[in-house]
Amino acid sequence: MAHPRSALLNVMTAAAQKAARRMVRDFGEVENLQVSKKGPADFVSIADKKAEDTLVKELQKARPDYGFILEENANIEGKDTSNTWVIDPLDGTTNFLHGIPHFAISIALVRDSEPFAGVVYNPVSDEMFWAEKGQGAYLNGRRLRVSARAHVSECLFATGLPFLGMEKDRDRFLQRIEAVSSVSAGIRRFGAAALDLAYVAAARFDGFWESGLQPWDIAAGAVLVREAGGFVSDLDGKKKMLETGSVVAATDKMHSPLLKLVK
């Protein structure tokens, strides 16, 4: 029995699906461009922008007074200052660029500075993750719960790589990898933070950490993890993820062990 979605989530999932139709066609083009000299980079930034324009248009139609925090365009001030859409039209751009079908559209509603509702949609696998405060988290209508694994040694964690040129971050990153991989079942690096968070909610990963992120990488996935029974904090264990750009998201059992390991 699929769970009935609220009006708000219906608006968000419909916007994601609309942007996704063109994105899937664009992804097909990118796959064809892989073998050409010129390569698909310009094409992808156009695809990214088109997806964002579609999302803004659809969400504005449904909720004309809400503002936007955007990746590709300038932020949009809303008349309703307590509600803001935080959007990543294409999380996992590098994967998309290389013809790897692991990327997502991420839409969050931040209400009074707190992530309130989130949708993360992988258009290629047609996996739609959604959650709203107090309503639970779902994948295509199936209720999600974080995993119940109780031993770090059985747990699979995910992270993201810092960009080149962040030397001090790189050393710390390598120390963290060392700390986590020496005690766990492994670490994955899939290249789309929104999906990593959704996978924690769906019990595929037991935890995820990364620093140097933007609000649109974190906001939607944070709601998913929280509503699936997990915990989300920044690297200091506080709730300032959107300000600090760092996140540790994990199951109720693994959040504090993971936080200790990455500190």
Q: What is the domain-level CATH number for residue 108?
A: 3.30.540.10
CA-to-CA distance for 213 and 71, rounded, in angstroms? 12
Q: Which domain holds residue 97?
A: 7-143
Residue 1 lies in a domain: no
211 found inside a domain: yes
In a domain, 105, yes or no: yes
Please tell me whether residues 159 and 183 are part of one structural domain. yes
The total of structural domains in the chain comes to: 2
| Residue among 52, 49, 71, 72 at smallest CA distance from 60 | 52
* pLDDT given at position 118: 98
CATH of the domain at 162: 3.40.190.80
Among candidate residues 262, 207, 199, 260, the one with its CA nearest the CA of residue 231: 207
pLDDT for the residue 171: 85
Residues 263, 261: Cα–Cα separation, whole Å = 6
pLDDT of residue 71: 87
Is residue 2 in some structural domain? Answer: no
Residue 63 per-residue DSSP state: -
- Identify the pLDDT of residue 167: 65
Residue 3: the pLDDT is 66
Classify 198 as helix, strand or coil: helix
Distance CA 192, CA 199 (A): 11
What residue ranges in 62-184 does DSSP mark as E strands? 66-70, 80-91, 104-111, 114-122, 127-132, 136-139, 142-143, 156-159
188 and 231 together in one domain:
yes
Domain boundary among 143, 168, 196: 143
Residues 126 and 194 in one domain: no
Going residue by residue through the chain, which has 263 residues, state the pLDDT in tens, using 9 for 90 and above: 556 799 999 999 999 999 999 999 999 998 888 777 777 788 889 999 999 999 999 999 999 999 999 988 899 999 999 999 999 999 999 999 999 999 999 999 999 999 999 999 999 999 999 999 999 999 999 999 999 999 999 999 999 987 666 666 788 889 999 999 999 999 999 999 999 999 999 999 999 999 999 999 999 999 999 999 999 999 999 999 999 999 999 999 999 999 999 99
Q: Is residue 182 part of a domain?
A: yes
DSSP-derived pairing of the beta strands 156-159 and 186-188 = parallel
Residues 114 and 234 in one domain: no
Answer whether residue 179 is part of any domain.
Answer: yes
Looking at 143, 164, 190, the residue that finishes a domain is 143
111 and 185 fall within a common domain: no
Judgement on whether residues 134 and 187 belong to the same structural domain of the protein: no
From 143, 161, 186, the end of a domain falls on 143
In a domain, 123, yes or no: yes
Separation CA 103–CA 107 (nearest Å): 13
* Residue 19 shares a structural domain with residue 58: yes
In this structure, are 96 and 38 located in the same domain? yes
Q: Looking at the structure, tell me whether residues 228 and 184 fall in a common domain.
A: yes
> What was the pLDDT predicted at 241?
96
Same domain, 178 and 199: yes
CA 109 to chain centre: 13
Residue 233 β-bridge partners = 248
Question: 139 and 157 in one domain?
Answer: no
Residues 214 and 233 in one domain: yes
Is residue 156 domain-resident? yes
